[in-house]
Amino acid sequence: MFRTHRRLLARICIPLQRRFMATEGKDRLLHRVKVLNLPRHENAAIKRLFQSFELGPFKKAPKWEYAFLNFETEGAAQEAMKKLEGVEFKRKTLQTEYMPVSEEEYRQRFQQKTSTPAVMDEQQKQQEQDTRSPAQRLADQVTPLHDTAYEDQLQQKHRRNAKQLANLKRQVAALPTLRSDPDKKTQVAWAFEKENPIQILDPIASPEENGYRTKCEFTMGRDLEGKPTVGFLLGQYRHGFTSVLDPSDCLHVPRTAKLIAQKMQDYIRASKYDVYDKVEKKGVWRSLMVKAQRTGDVMIVIQLKASELDDAQLDAEKKKLVEFWTAQNEIAITTLLVQRWDGESNGFTEKGVTETLLGDGYVYEELLGCRFRISSSAFFQVNTPATELLYAKCAEWCNIDKNKKTTLLDLCCGTGTIGITMARTVDRVIGIEMISDAIVDAQANAEMNQIKNVQYHASKVEERIDVVANEKNEEVVAVFDPPRSGVHSSVIRAVRESPQIRKVIFISCDARQAMDSFVKSLPADV
């Protein structure tokens, strides 16, 4: 019997980002690789394919049989072509083409899509017919269920989960290997039962409905009146929306983050430097990140385009920022950082240069009696009370036998939260995470909580299959807490084929995108 539960919080969806290179002279090149012979619609599987080759964001419409990858250098583009050329994927052989394009030409194509008379007329018509206030439009954009009672929201999500489990049942029943082999069909007899045999438990409500987000990322741009503003875009940039509205009416943003956004807005309105223009690619002030933890710790990260300033101007502005934020009596700032980012992609990025101006560059949070260090780039759940319920339920389902030596495999472990909160109930914890900075945080967190029975590996999980396959304690329990799209098929296969692993807890924030991982978790001979 299978059991599932709803993830109690949502991860931030990061928009696809373009990469570019500044060449010698006035022209700039986008080093593009076109990947041919891809299947239609299966973007989640294609994303996992590219990730397996350590390739980043791509552009592909659902009906396209090709995709584009952008790189900073021609060498990186050629290296990607070597990796993908001739690869067998979904019964097709991939082919690649190098298709560099000037930044100006690329920008004109984008502007043409959003600036043709037909598009502009349609946008104008939609705006004229839209009777919502700007605050209502923003609420619909960032919190689309804000007008729905919370109990009704839970029921909607319950029905959505039931639909995905029914979809899992259909996909398993349709597997071609089951058609001609009755023995294999018997192993998954539940998929052929008339009623859905999978137990679906009621959703567990978040203890806090409003102001729960401990991390908020704001855009610095201009509002509908053209004033420099800190807040959220009123629509998607790729659809031509560039106006920003302050977050004062947003239900999910806590008071501290709203106050910091307002203070930063005051600062940039008094600044002699302009906010960044996403179309013209000019201006200094780009983004603001706030991490306001339940402990009271507050992190502020300010992203700016440093190439607009010379060294003396940049140093003076950093000093001014320190003076400004230390003078704010209403907010106790734990740490202040600046990220310098001159690229075209919007939002915070690991490619930017991040510098600590105040504090040690960390904030701290407490979960289930443990204390955790959080860096500016590390992922950490954004709803602390709900996270405690989630992790408590995970530990309950692991059902650790205190009379046996048990190893907990914390796969996609991030900063180590799940393994550390459970470490005292097991003999050993092994954590694997591909983001090296997160592993540094995890090791620091284990030491801070005086946890001695953990070991961490900074690697893709599929590259440390030996750790998974060779673990031979009396009991081995695996906990998956992967990205939205699930995990690599080789990881699922290694866990599934290990005779020591008798129990797997899979935490998913999007069952639809992780469906491929669920199907591949069936017995190896199915």
Catalytic residues: 509
- Encoded tokens for 326: 């230390």
Residue 230 CA, distance from chain mean position: 22
The backbone region for 86, taken as left when phi is positive above 0, alpha when psi lies in -120 to 50, beta otherwise, is left
Q: What CA–CA distance (Å, rounded) separates 441 from 510?
A: 26
User: Is residue 423 a contact partner of residue 413, using CB atoms and an 8 Å limit?
Assistant: no
Number of helices (H), then strands (E), in the chain: 15, 24
Residue 27 Ramachandran class (φ > 0 left, ψ -120 to 50 alpha, else beta): beta
- CA 457 to chain CA centroid, Å, is 21
Contact between residue 348 and residue 301 where contact means Cβ atoms under 8 Å apart? yes
Residue 213, token pair as written in the block = 């987000």
Amino acid at 521: S
CB 39 within 8 A of CB 92: yes
Report which of 88, 109, 34, 100 is spatially closest to residue 65, judged by C-alpha positions.
34
Query: Kind and range of the H or E element at 386?
Result: helix 384-398
- Alpha carbon distances (Å) from 328 to 226, 229, 520: 27, 19, 53
Contacting residues for 271 by C-beta, under 8 A, at least 6 apart: 228, 284, 285
Helix or strand (DSSP H, E) at 75: helix 74-84
Fill in the DSSP letter of residue 249: T
Neighbours of 379 (CB within 10 A): 19
* Contacts with 440 (C-beta within 8 Å, 6 or more apart), sequence order: 375
- Rounded to the nearest 5 percent, the helix, strand and coil shares of the chain are 35, 25, 40
In DSSP notation, 153-185 reads HHHHHHHHHHHHHHHHHHHHHT-GGGSS-HHHH
C-alpha gyration radius of the chain: 25
The string over 128-153, giving b where at least 16 C-beta atoms fall within 10 Å of a residue's C-beta and e elsewhere, is: eeeeeeeeebbbebbeeeeeeeeeeb
Residue numbers in the known binding site for S-adenosyl-L-methionine are: 381, 433, 481
| 470-486 burial: b if 16+ Cβ within 10 Å, else e | ebeeebbbbbbbbbebb
Q: Is 220 helix (H, G, I), strand (E, B) or coil?
A: strand
Other CB atoms within a 10 A radius of the CB of residue 264 amount to 23
